């Protein structure tokens, strides 16, 4: 590692290790030259802590004092901008982790930064069915749903029936395990039979390729992942256009290599 890289890492570590220092740089970046009293008010940092951090930032050439006011140096402006970007990306990674860590490494055919604004609903002890409830609720009012399902349930099928009765179009690809469930499990077989013959409903079975739930519900893409017992752990929603294009392409590929379901087997 070069001395330059080592200094950069030390500077980044110094700044990012303290929320107070991050707040100081963010405040100066947003407001320009600021007095010490205003910095205290803006950041909520007590005087002694503020003074210590101001000295440390100045020693690293990130800020300077002029006429009893503090401002970023050019180097400080670069660090503040880079830090903001890094925090946004790391924050997005942390928020998306419950979904991304369970997806196959080659699952996403687009830049993951496209998911920066995505919503994630995670299963928690307080709400273990959060992902399922979000998915089922999203079926209400849908006009065109494309669903690749590694699992299904009675609530999902009932909400799908209501949407179909209201004129929605459903294209569904399921695993053989799901197909067997709708053939034999009385908890879902009746609900499935009630919608299987609808003109606006097509269901086919894919031998492989459905390792996670993928849904395109009008303009919204959903991705859900499961634990080792097949229980949904997290659901992601995105309205990014590139993500939607990828999702439709992936669904169409699954549908092309699937076969119509035979519930009489």
pLDDT tens column, 17-75: 999 999 999 999 999 999 999 999 988 889 999 999 999 999 999 999 999 999 999 99
CA–CA distance, 11 with 17 (Å, rounded to integer): 10
Its pTM stands at 0.80
- Domains of the chain listed by start with CATH number: 3-88 (1.10.10.10), 107-260 (3.30.870.10)
Per-residue pLDDT at 264: 56
CA–CA distance, 153 with 224 (Å, rounded to integer): 14
One digit per residue, the tens of pLDDT, for the chain of length 265 reads 456 677 888 888 899 899 999 999 999 999 999 999 999 998 888 999 999 999 999 999 999 999 999 999 999 999 999 988 888 888 888 999 999 999 987 899 999 889 988 999 999 999 999 999 999 999 999 999 999 999 988 888 889 999 999 999 999 999 999 999 888 888 888 888 888 888 999 999 998 889 999 999 999 999 999 998 888 999 999 999 999 999 999 999 999 999 998 765 4
pLDDT tens for each residue of 121-140: 999 999 999 999 999 999 99
Beta strands of 108-231 (E only): which ranges?
119-122, 144-149, 169-174, 201-205, 213-217, 220-226
Nearest to 65 by CA among 85, 36, 44: 36
Residues 6+ apart with CB under 8 A from 207: 176, 257
């Amino acid at each position: 590692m070069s001395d330059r890289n080592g200094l950069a890492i030390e500077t980044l570590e110094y700044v990012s290790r303290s929320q107070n220092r991050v707040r100081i740089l963010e405040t100066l970046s947003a407001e320009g030259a600021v007095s010490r009293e205003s910095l205290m008010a803006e950041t909520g940092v007590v005087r002694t802590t503020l003074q210590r951090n101001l000295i440390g930032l100045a020693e690293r050439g990130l800020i300077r004092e002029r006429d009893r006011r503090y401002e970023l140096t050019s180097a400080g402006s670069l660090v503040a901008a880079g830090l903001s970007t890094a925090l946004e990306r790391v924050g997005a990674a942390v928020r998306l982790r419950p979904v991304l860590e369970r997806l196959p490494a080659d699952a996403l055919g687009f830049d993951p930064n496209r998911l920066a604004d995505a919503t994630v609903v995670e299963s928690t002890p307080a709400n273990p069915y959060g992902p399922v409830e979000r998915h089922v609720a999203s079926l209400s009012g849908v006009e065109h749903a494309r669903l690749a399902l590694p699992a299904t349930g009675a609530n999902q099928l009932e909400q799908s029936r209501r949407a179909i009765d209201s004129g929605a179009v459903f294209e569904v690809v399921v695993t053989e395990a799901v197909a067997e469930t709708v053939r034999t499990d009385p908890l879902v077989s009746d609900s499935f039979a009630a919608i299987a013959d609808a003109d606006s409903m097509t269901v086919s079975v894919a031998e492989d390729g459905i390792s996670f739930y993928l849904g395109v519900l009008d303009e919204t893409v959903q991705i859900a992942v499961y634990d080792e017992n097949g229980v949904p752990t997290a659901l992601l929603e995105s309205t990014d256009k590139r993500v939607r294009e990828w999702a439709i392409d992936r669904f169409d590929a699954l549908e092309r290599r699937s076969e119509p379901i035979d519930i009489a087997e």
